[in-house]
Structure 1
């Protein structure tokens, strides 16, 4: 199966950093996709997650791995400014960042691949979710 997906930072980071079966499952799902649609702030959110890790060599290695991964040619960064009205509609139930992921999936009519179970159960989103 080959398709486009919307991808959030939680799933992407788990695919890169999680060595458990869950990480393997996400990597398998990403491997089936031909294009990963993400909001334009995706890179910053991923790197900020790494910055919050414990200082030391593991954090530096994590930052390096994530930074190299962000150069993946399958990642297609989407400007979300035009989606602000829909993002605002979703704000009572989800964060602005999560709303941007949802709206990206809705706009392109693709599933949102996420590790955020709470987001997938929130009222308001009209996209399909692939939750890992």
Structure 2
């Protein structure tokens, strides 16, 4: 987490709760976001490296694609395949889904509770 804002604080509070789960692709997605932020000059090289080290040590249980494939495909008209993986995982284990993605938070047909930052937070 490299964002120093109310939205970043919201995410940090959620991360502190423990019991994190995510699709197996999550670390690669996050590493790519860090790469883009560094290349675009939004964060320094040092911040990117520190954030990547934190990512590598994040206590999160990663889940493979195959057990969720049918539900992911069933969600294709409502959300992207990547987002569908997060949704299908949350649905399968009965957990809420936390996201800063307003479009995902408003998507129809999800069978899990969705948490997102308050609407007045900038995106």
Would you say same fold, with TM above 0.5? yes
Tell me which residue corresponds to 2:72. Answer: 87
How far 1:59 moved relative to its partner?
4.5
User: Which is worse superposed, 55-64 or 95-104?
Assistant: 55-64
Cα distance change, pair 47–131 in 1 and its aligned pair in 2 (3 A) = same
Instruction: Determine whether 1:106 maps to 2:85.
Output: no
Instruction: Determine whether 1:128 maps to 2:113.
Output: yes
Cα distance change, pair 73–47 in 1 and its aligned pair in 2 (3 A) = closer
Aligned Cα RMSD in Å? 1.8
Which gives a bigger RCO, structure 1 or 2 (Cα 8 Å, sep 6+)? 1
How far 1:23 moved relative to its partner?
1.2
The answer (yes or no) to whether the contact 1:80–1:104 under 8 Å persists in 2 is no
How far 1:42 moved relative to its partner?
0.3
CA distance in 1, matches of 2:26, 2:19: 15
TM-score by length of 1: 0.78
Please, which of 30, 37, 45 is the counterpart of residue 53 of structure 1? 37
How far 1:54 moved relative to its partner?
4.9
Aligned length: 116
Q: Could you say what secondary structure the match of 1:85 adopts?
A: helix
CA distance in 1, matches of 2:14, 2:112: 17
- The gaps in structure 2 that reach 5 residues or longer are 118-123
How far 1:71 moved relative to its partner?
2.8
Please, which of 18, 26, 46 is the counterpart of residue 34 of structure 1? 18
Please, which of 44, 51, 61 is the counterpart of residue 28 of structure 2? 44
Structure with greater strand percent: 1
**1:51-83 CA distances to partner (integer Å, 9 max, x unpaired)?**
222536935234313321223352111112111
How far 1:119 moved relative to its partner?
0.3
